[in-house]
Amino acid sequence: MGSGTNQALWVLNLKPRPSIECSPPSAASPAGACAAQIFRRYHPPMRLLKIDCRAACALLIFSLTPHSVCLGQERSELWGEQGERWSADSRLPDWSFAGFERGEGTIPTPAPTHNVRDYGAVGDGEHDDTEAFRKAIAAAKRAVAEGAAAGVVRIPAGRYTITDRLDIRSSGVVLRGEGEGQTTLHFPRSLTDVEPNWSATTTGRRTSNYSWSGGFVRVQGRLTGPSLGAVGPALRGETVLPVAEPDRFEPGAEVMLSMSDDEEHSLTHYLYAGDPGPIDNIGRQIRAEQVFRVLAVDPEASTVTLDRPLRFDVRAEWAPDLLVFRPTVTHVGVESMTMEFPGDPYMGHFTELGYNGIAMSGVAHCWVRNIRFVNAESGVFFNGSFSTLDGLVFESEREPDRFGNQGHHAITVTGTDNLTTGFDFRVRYIHDITVTRGSIGNVFASGRGVDVNFDHHRRGPYENLFTDIDVGLGSRVWASGGGAALGRHSAARGTFWNLRSERPIAPPGRNFAPPMINIVGVRSESAASTEADGLWFEPIDPEAMLPQNLHEAQRQRRLRTDAETPD
């Protein structure tokens, strides 16, 4: 066999479904990709046994090289075998920078430095442990300020009652439980009980702002510093950017490009590839942002060379500006616990009072991982850059509304270059995954759910990727919300790559997005459409689709190229 033969491979054993769950093998190598296909095709109806790859050789008579065929492998014309058909200025964007530390780092696991029990937490489900948690967080913050690499608050096994917000506004603080089945944070009150925040929908219906924002664990920061001056013009896909004051830049500096719409809404039209739909209510809300690292400065030409291609054109009418990218809150994590809320019946859309888990805003290089949400109205509201949400599970005992929903927004991600992976929606939310204004270049990968929908909430969510996802039933993949006359649900080049479903998936209706979107690797009864300037719809068998995870293929390709490029 080819590379990757030292990893375990999964082979079929035609027996009833086992009582334990099987985990899919890695698809990082050709052998793993083949094994992953076998796993997805036959699990869970058939049992899989984990054996050494040498033994698997006797059963799977394949020559697993990067160019071999496994279960009828198919590849998109947009990518090819190893990305040879792809370029960053094509209709298929670059998502290789998404995730913690620009997709280049591993989420750390520093040793605990503090224990909530040392600050008075009881964890018996009866005592109010809020103040003990606040004291432990404050101590962790002081430790970082005094030079510790991180302030890790250990939350031992137990059931901890929390009745008010837990705020984090500094870097390096980590809240770590002992696992989803061991550590539970119980929130008996709503955020409306804590601090009422009433508002109205775009149609005038009275509701709480906590219907679409806020969380009991609140992490807040700021991403940018001062302006470095005007820039441009430049075209999407380019990496050299004219600047007004080149002496203000130096190699290695991180900068954020920020552009805003004009009175003619020309930026809105651009992001929607000229077809925004009704935008009478959109005002001047639309912005376009992207973060770069400066590779070189040319004072004579008054240009800077950036480490990645531009996602958009840079035009004078959008007042383009480069800001110092200097996040005030980084390396904050919330991990390994259950967050539980009351099990009252869910009364439906816009009745939410704020039984919400985590809200992060203005942060970078942060993470939320291995959290189980029980009865949450909303799980995570995230805003920031280069962060990862991993292993989020959603369950509920609440009586559903008349449509079968048991919550509002499970996961909402705004900002740029974030990765959400390994999610599991065991119940239906009105909006399982939400992108909206300011959601640019984010990735949602390798998750599953009972009947997942990708809520594009209007206001120009642009170039987001959904890849390697089991959407379950597949009855509402494109179901989306958002107010009236705020643009089509998705802006241009949203990409949906390798979606597995029980039902066939048809392309979305015209109100969902402009034609310039990509849908590749779905089971469908609709005809293919590969128009250069229109809808790209390739109904490739998702089980045979390679690469299965487009983000990971792009990331590995970039890191491999970077390693081969001399300094």
In this predicted structure, the answer to whether residue 308 has a pLDDT above a threshold of 80 is yes
Average pLDDT over residues 258-270: 97
Look at residues 380, 394, 370, 358 and name the one whose alpha carbon lies nearest to residue 179: 370
d(CA 403, CA 56): 46
CA distances from 6 to 30, 69, 71 (A): 12, 20, 21
Q: By CB neighbour count within 10 A (0-12 exposed, 13-18 middle, 19+ buried), where does 26 fall?
A: middle
d(CA 182, CA 170): 27
pLDDT at 385: 98
Structure tokens at 173: 């603080």
pLDDT digit string, tens, across residues 73-116:
899 999 999 999 999 899 999 999 999 999 999 999 999 999 99
Torsion of CA 344, 348, 351, 356, to 10 degrees: 60
**What are phi and psi for residue 545, nearest 5 degrees?**
-70, 130
User: Which strands sit side by side in the sheet containing 224-230, from one edge to the other?
Assistant: 224-230, 321-325, 254-260, 287-298, 303-306, 240-242
pLDDT at 219: 98
d(CA 528, CA 115): 57
In this predicted structure, the answer to whether residue 6 has a pLDDT above a threshold of 80 is no
pLDDT digit string, tens, across residues 409-458:
999 999 999 999 999 999 999 999 999 999 999 999 999 999 999 999 99
pTM: 0.89
In this predicted structure, the answer to whether residue 31 has a pLDDT above a threshold of 70 is no
Average pLDDT over residues 461-488: 98
d(CA 282, CA 460): 10
In this predicted structure, the answer to whether residue 138 has a pLDDT above a threshold of 90 is yes
Angle, alpha carbons 191-192-198 (nearest 5°): 125
pLDDT at 204: 87
In this predicted structure, the answer to whether residue 119 has a pLDDT above a threshold of 60 is yes
pLDDT at 88: 86
CA distances from 40 to 15, 19, 293, 468, 486 (A): 16, 18, 38, 11, 38
8 A C-beta contact, residue 545 and residue 521:
yes
Cis peptide before 547 (omega within 30 of 0): yes
In this predicted structure, the answer to whether residue 37 has a pLDDT above a threshold of 60 is no
**What are phi and psi for residue 59, nearest 5 degrees?**
-100, -35
pLDDT at 202: 78
8 A C-beta contact, residue 357 and residue 376:
yes
In this predicted structure, the answer to whether residue 256 has a pLDDT above a threshold of 80 is yes
Q: Locate the domains of the chain by residue range.
A: 9-71, 224-325
Torsion of CA 155, 159, 164, 167, to 10 degrees: 20
In this predicted structure, the answer to whether residue 57 has a pLDDT above a threshold of 50 is no
CA distances from 562 to 93, 171, 330 (A): 18, 29, 25
**In sequence order, what are the residues at sequence separation of 6 or more whose Cβ sits closer than 8 angstroms to the Cβ of residue 147?**
none
pLDDT digit string, tens, across residues 515-554:
999 999 999 999 999 999 999 999 999 999 999 999 999 9
